[in-house]
Amino acid sequence: MNANDSLERGIADVYEREAPPRAPDWVLVSILDAIDETPQRRGLIPAPWRFRPMNTFAKAVIAAVAVIAIGAVGLSVLSPRNPSNVGSAPSTAPSAGPSPSPAPSTPPSPDPSAPPPLSSFFMSTMHGISLRYPAGWQVSKATKVWTGGALNLPSPDIDYIYDPTLYGDLFLAVASQPLAGKTGDTWVTDFISDPQSDCFTDSESITVNGAKGSLCGTVAAISVADRGYFIRLYTSNDRSWLGDHYDQAWFKGLLETVHLRPSDAVDGPGSPSASQSS
Amino acid sequence: MQAELVDRARRGDREAFSVLAAGAVDRLHAIARLVLRDTELAQDATQEALVRAWRDLPTLRDVDRFDAWLYRLIVRSCADIGRHRRRWRAEVTILPVDPAEPDSTADLADRDLIERGLRRLTVPQQTILVLTFYVGLTPTEAADALEIPVGTAKSRLHYAIEALRVAIAADERTPVGAPREGRTA
């Protein structure tokens, strides 16, 4: 055996030892949640019918059945060395929460629990951005491109991620648009200085996913490539205790999960139907 | 069976895609974890890859190439995420190896040396090594996953191994207690 063989065998051994045998259950559940909200691109195959979105229970059942079926038939998808790479069914599906309601029927809790972990995943195919958000929150996806202007919510041009128990009082809003001839710095400055951004404090420079921007309270504006993004955390003054938990430090933690994908935006350079796969 | 599921999924059948995702998620997650060497980033990359798979599945021409296509997607997600991450980064210079000199990696009983050396490689270097030595892809298959020519894939693999060899050699020469890596973020 020469040195190359020894080194290559060593690499393989290290990989075998380090590779996690399973992804956490919530990863699959989160993916299934995300695809419910994600339309498919128009492709080569005409869709003769449409399937209704699944509820969370159905997802858990399907995931369980899928795992069992795969184990039973030995379907070793992507597993040239380790055919039994699929574990048991997800057991920790995030709570579905009630349907959005314009007016919560329960009074606000004076002593809310700490924010849920950022374990849910959202990828915006409209605005070209992904991020993690608190478990149990729900998503209202944008259906139109955002051309700026009013940030009134809910709005069809803004991705809206909210706590279903505090509808309208606690949410994240996300959108992006082309810079349209502006420099990135100018776009960010213009956005932050716009009264509609609700920025009434000093702003600070931030870097989100390698892109520069500005943070004012819990409103972030970032530019990357030829696109400007805003991400906003809103907490209602009517429930002042929300701001104690969902403060700027919490928001900065959420910003660390953001990935900016300008080419994925609907009106970005890599717009839907432009890509073709093998 | 898989081809039928892929065909159903690309026509919009979420249940079919759920079965495919359940069968692929662990493997993709393992690949991402090895490439990115970070658990949370690997989870993000896995989610992105599979959500993109769902979104772009109607554009997949050949259902029999679903597995290879998933490799492409996880590689892309790792590259995207790795491009901006603030992590330990290697400043490894490829040095010529004198064939007359005894190879310090000839006996690699200490896997920790390799593990530390791997941490100093770039994401593209990690990726070609993982595809080759963990997934077990041939150079042609790895080139397909990386969307690069076969010759480039072979060259990248060669230089990745050389970079690892240099990193290991440098690590062996580092006195105990001295810093092994530099933070560049």
> Could A14 and B111 be called an inter-chain contact, meaning their C-beta atoms sit closer than 8 Å?
yes
Q: What phi and psi, each to the nearest 5 degrees, are found at residue A45?
A: -105, 120
Predicted structure pTM score: 0.55
Question: Is A128 within 8 Å of A176 (Cβ atoms)?
Answer: yes
Q: What is the pLDDT of residues A105-143, one digit of tens each?
A: 444 444 456 888 888 888 888 899 999 999 888 888 888
Q: Residues of A with CB below 8 A from B18's CB?
A: 32, 54, 59, 62-63, 66
- B9-45 b/e with 16+ CB inside 10 Å = b? bbbbbbbbbbbbbbbbbbbbbbbbbbbbbbeebbbbb
d(CA B160, CA B150): 15
- When CB atoms are compared, the residue of A19, A257, A259 closest to B34 is A19
Give me the pLDDT at residue A276, please: 39
**Range(s) of chain B covered by CATH 1.10.1740.10:** 2-84
Q: B19 with B25: CB under 8 angstroms?
A: no
Interface predicted TM-score (ipTM): 0.80
By the 10 Å C-beta count (0-12 exposed, 13-18 middle, 19+ buried), B99 is classed as: exposed
Of B26, B43, B118, the CB nearest to A14: B118
Contacts of A81 in chain B (CB under 8 A): 134, 136
Q: What is the pLDDT of residue A178?
A: 93
Give dist(CA B4, CA B64) in Å, integer. 10
Residue of A37, A254, A259, A273 best to disrupt the B interface, most CBs of B under 10 A: A259
With bands split at pLDDT 50, 70 and 90, how would you rate the model's confidence at A77? very low
CATH topology of domain B89-185: Arc Repressor Mutant, subunit A (1.10.10)
What are the pLDDT digits (tens) for B35-50? 998 888 899 999 999 9
Give the residue-averaged pLDDT of B21-45. Answer: 92
Task: Say whether B25 and A31 touch across the interface (CB within 8 A).
Answer: yes
- Token digits of residue B39: 């658990």
User: What's the pLDDT at A70?
Assistant: 53
Q: What residue ranges define each of the domains in chain A, with the CATH number in brackets?
A: 3-73 (no CATH), 120-264 (3.40.1000.10)
Q: Which CATH architecture has domain B2-84?
A: Orthogonal Bundle (1.10)
Strands (E), chain A: 120-124, 129-133, 138-140, 159-162, 170-178, 203-208, 211-216, 219-224, 227-235, 259-260
Sequence ranges of chain B with CATH classification 1.10.10.10 = 89-185
* Chain B neighbors of A125, CB-CB under 8 A: 55
| DSSP 8-state code for residue B148 | S
